[in-house]
Amino acid sequence: MRGHIIAFEGIDGSGKSSQAKLLKDWLEAKGVPVYLTEWNSSEWLHDTIKEAKKKNLLTPLTYSLIHATDFADRYEKYILPMYRAGFVVISDRYVYTAYARDTVRGLSLDWVKKLYSFAIKPDIVFYIRVPASEALRRLKENRRKIKPNEAGADIFPDLKPEEGFLKYQGAVLEVYDRLAPEEGFHVIDGTRDPKSIQMEIRQKVGEVVWRRRES
């Protein structure tokens, strides 16, 4: 029996990673086999990508291709086998992250979509939507330093971190907003109370997961 792919999307600081982990814990407590995967987590590429970003070595094209390679590695080794084995695969970022980030860097959306055309369409894509200003407020509240990639330092090198964050994340947000109706995202207001957000997520996932398991 094939499983499910549940994806979480949103800008940095949206709270999507926390919601993905809460969903994983809930499903495991229900006895459902779950696998959680994250963006940039390929064992052999993670450090390479991290170092390349740190040294600002990536062009828009190489940025796109190296992230696609990371995704393809995880997809073939883990996502697809787990899906075929009946697991609920929770993906903290999926191909839509590339759609948004790569097009902001000037690449063609059609080209990026073709690059990721091998990937199965998720059963649900939760788009946790928060304004860039709110995401920045959360980072500052948590006293966490803004990472260069979060501020789009490769394309806005002359901006201060906070300014870069607002401009870059705002641009990514605009692409997500355009993708949402086209790709059928389940849009959630990420400024709401995290508990109420999780309850909405659980209800939606429960409808999909248990309907198939009972059929």
Domain span at residue 93 reads 4-214
pLDDT computed for residue 192 by the predictor:
97
113, HSE (Cβ side, Cα atoms, 13 Å): 7
Per-residue pLDDT tens for 33-77? 999 999 887 777 777 877 777 777 788 999 999 999 999 999 999
Which tokens go with 94?
A: 């999926």
pLDDT computed for residue 54 by the predictor:
74
pLDDT computed for residue 121 by the predictor:
97
* CA-based nearest residue to 176, from 114, 69, 102: 102
Q: What is the mean pLDDT of the chain?
A: 93
Q: How far apart are CA 132 and CA 170, in angstroms?
A: 5
Query: Dihedral sign, CA of 38, 16, 98, 104?
Result: negative
Residue listed under structure tokens 């659980």: 202
Which tokens go with 44?
A: 């052999």
What pTM did the predictor assign? 0.93
β-pair partners for 192:
none
pLDDT computed for residue 214 by the predictor:
52
**With a cut of 50, which residues of the chain have pLDDT below it?**
none
The total of structural domains in the chain comes to: 1
pLDDT computed for residue 102 by the predictor:
97
| CATH number, position 206 | 3.40.50.300
pLDDT computed for residue 46 by the predictor:
73
pLDDT computed for residue 53 by the predictor:
74
